[in-house]
Amino acid sequence: MTDPVEVMQARAEQAMRLAAHRTALLHTGAFTVAELAAMRGQDEACTRMWLARQIGDRALITVTHDGERLVPAFQLTAAGDPRPELQPLLEVLVGADLGDWATWTWLTTPSAFLSGERPVDVAVSNPPRARRSAERFAWAPSGA
């Protein structure tokens, strides 16, 4: 039987690792709705409606951090539009209900499914390969 203190320590360590990982992701860039609105030259209400459509179309993901909705920057063009090459991957990953933080992580981290390349990069250089890897990852036991 596992010692309850050890279980609590393991959970605390896991929570700290997760928080550190999320902080590292956030340091790669993310926009608040207000920042995205300014980038797009729109007011916040219009941007919120636009963002809801993009999420519904599986063209963008958002994450919640400290109670605020954030749009990871890697998935946007300089004009603040969704990068079209990512939508096929997002369709698969969002459809598998992996969670937005896990989706962000997988898209921007070197993947064994892509011989160590990042899915976000392969989506540009070889879209069919990137989509196949997303499908393999999404449906692998325990998200592999």
Model pLDDT for residues 75-105, shown as the tens digit of each residue: 999 999 999 999 999 999 999 999 999 999 9
Q: Each residue of 43-52: pLDDT tens digit?
A: 999 999 999 9
> How far does CA 29 lie from the centroid of its chain?
12
Q: What is the pTM of this model?
A: 0.85
The domain segmentation of the chain, as residue ranges, is 4-143
- H or E segment to which residue 7 belongs: helix 4-27
pLDDT given at position 137? 93
pLDDT at 143 over 70: no
